[in-house]
Amino acid sequence: MAESHDDHGHSVAAWTAVATIIVAAVLIAIGVAWGLPAFWIPGIVLVVLGMAAGKILAMAGFGSEPIAAPPAPQHGPSDDDGPRSTPQTASN
């Protein structure tokens, strides 16, 4: 592969969010399969809490460092740019 993702998702924030949402998904699946609202309702709440925990931990500095985008190429003026003149035709 051309690119390497050495730090992709390796943070406390990411692992906390993923682990919480996986537990929530299991609760929701059990609750839906067996018709038990006592499982799927807390599961939905846990999904929201997992997303919030991941975001809060990332904002607190426990997330991965953002990767800077490469600088945009700079284009200077050239002879090919700008409006082009059209030949004038004689009309009678």
- List the chain domain ranges: 12-62
- Sequence-distant (≥ 6) Cβ neighbours of residue 11 within 8 angstroms: 57, 58, 62, 63, 64
pLDDT in tens, 28-69: 999 999 999 999 999 999 999 999 999 999 999 998 877 777
3-state per-residue secondary structure call for 5-51: CCCCCCCHHHHHHHHHHHHHHHHHHHHHHHCCHHHHHHHHHHHHHHH
Written as six digits, the tokens of 80 are 């090919």
The Cα diameter of the chain in Å comes to 88
pTM for the predicted model, two decimal places: 0.64
Q: Which residue has the tokens 């800077």?
A: 68
In this prediction, residue 87 carries a pLDDT of 63
CB 23 within 8 A of CB 46: yes
Tell whether the model's pLDDT for residue 81 goes beyond 90. no
